[in-house]
């Protein structure tokens, strides 16, 4: 099964870089992963032909920082409010829903959300988010097609 992993975020805004950090960690572990810093329409091209897409982004749901959530985007529409930490008006939820309307979603679409709390410009990820980055990378590594 073909799989594409896309980490989204902004490394210059603290916890918002979680998805990018997961992509980088996965590459260190030998699994190809893409970084997306805001061109969410590029996701549609990135997963073209893939049977499975895994997207990682920072979310704000009110849960404790570092909490990991997992959504199956094929089963229900995403609530864009959960991805509201994006600096762009067009974020992960909008990209997935547009792909759904255009019938361009892969057969399986998983979205990992890492709860963020610190988005100050020029800061790095908090300790809780850094720990979650490692956990998500390990979970995705276990999903790697054999």
User: Which of these, 137, 123, 126, 142, lies nearest to 13 by C-alpha position?
Assistant: 123
Domain ranges of the chain: 3-143
**What is the structure's pLDDT at 90?**
66
* Exposure of 32 in the CB half-sphere (CA atoms within 13 A): 7
Q: How far apart are CA 19 and CA 137, in angstroms?
A: 10
Q: Which fold has domain 3-143?
A: Rossmann fold (3.40.50)
**What is the structure's pLDDT at 87?**
47
146 residues of the chain, pLDDT tens digit each: 699 999 999 999 999 999 999 999 999 999 999 998 877 778 888 898 899 999 999 999 899 999 999 999 988 777 666 565 444 456 788 888 888 889 889 999 999 999 999 999 999 999 999 999 999 999 999 986 54
**What is the structure's pLDDT at 146?**
44
Q: How far apart are CA 140 and CA 135, in angstroms?
A: 9
Report which DSSP code applies to 136. Answer: H
**What is the structure's pLDDT at 82?**
57
**What is the structure's pLDDT at 44?**
85
**What is the structure's pLDDT at 31?**
95
Q: How far apart are CA 53 and CA 44, in angstroms?
A: 10
């Amino acid at each position: 099964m073909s799989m594409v992993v896309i980490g989204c975020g902004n490394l210059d805004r603290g916890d918002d870089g979680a998805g990018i950090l997961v992509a980088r960690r996965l590459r260190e572990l030998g699994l190809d992963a893409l970084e997306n810093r805001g061109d969410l329409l590029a996701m549609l091209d990135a997963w073209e032909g893939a049977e499975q897409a895994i997207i990682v982004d920072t979310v704000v749901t009110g849960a404790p920082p570092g909490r990991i959530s997992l959504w199956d985007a094929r089963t229900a529409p995403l609530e864009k409010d959960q991805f509201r930490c994006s600096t762009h008006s067009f974020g992960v939820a909008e990209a997935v829903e547009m792909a759904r309307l255009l019938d361009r979603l892969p057969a399986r679409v998983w979205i990992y959300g890492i709860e963020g709390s610190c988005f100050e410009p020029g800061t790095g990820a908090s300790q809780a988010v850094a720990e979650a980055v490692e956990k998500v990378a390990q979970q995705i590594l276990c999903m790697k097609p054999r």
